[in-house]
Amino acid sequence: MSRPGERPRDALGRPLPHGETGVPPLASSAPLPPAAALAEAQRLLDAGLPFQAHEVLEAVWKSPETDPGERGLWRGLAQLAVGVTHLARGNVKGGVAVLRRGAANLIPYADRPPHGVAVPGLLAWVDLRIADIGRAHPGLPCITARTAPADGGPRLVG
């Protein structure tokens, strides 16, 4: 949700000059319930709007209503969306770094993921993306893919 006087943003969250038309801001910055937040974030990711997906996930992560034992999950999901945003902007090094941090935050939830979050699939997706990036950019350190995820972008719920 934009505040008065805030600059419009492009699809990847970059500020645009005042007076230009950007993507519509989120209807609300209020956190959604977990199932609704996951569905909305997935819809935004599928629409090529990872920055907006990050905002939806970040609102849940930072909400005082969120179970403290799940904050790492929501932080990790938000970081994955930020990593995708950086990659889409062409910031490969930053994208890889944030994807790694996001994956590290998700690992504790791999055995018993709350809310049906596809944590093992997301970890596999991150591994594969980073391995692909490592092959395309040999100067960057990369990790090896453990398993191959489904084609396409990250799937939040399995």
For residue range 89-117, list pLDDT tens digits in order.
999 999 999 999 999 999 999 999 999 99
**Where do the domains of the chain lie, and which CATH numbers do they carry?**
34-136 (1.10.3450)
The Cα 40–Cα 23 span in angstroms is: 16
The band of 152, judged by pLDDT with boundaries at 50, 70 and 90, is low
The band of 144, judged by pLDDT with boundaries at 50, 70 and 90, is very low
3-class DSSP state of 69: helix
